[in-house]
Amino acid sequence: MTQVLIGDIYLRQQCDVFWLGYTISPAYARQGYAIEAITATID
């Protein structure tokens, strides 16, 4: 298994507001990685 950084997740809480952002490398876009990472982050 090769470990490759394909993007990142940003999560911040400010009072009752949560900010969630992400970036995905164009080479890995539209393959479901963002939704998988976001789901894992909020679970």
Q: What pTM, to 2 d.p., does this model score?
A: 0.68
Task: Kindly report, residue by residue over 10-21, the tens digit of the pLDDT.
Answer: 999 999 999 999
Dihedral Cα 6, 22, 27, 37, nearest 10 deg:
60
pLDDT classification of 43: cutoffs 50, 70, 90: confident
Tell me the domain boundaries of the chain.
7-42
Q: Is 24 strand, coil or helix?
A: strand
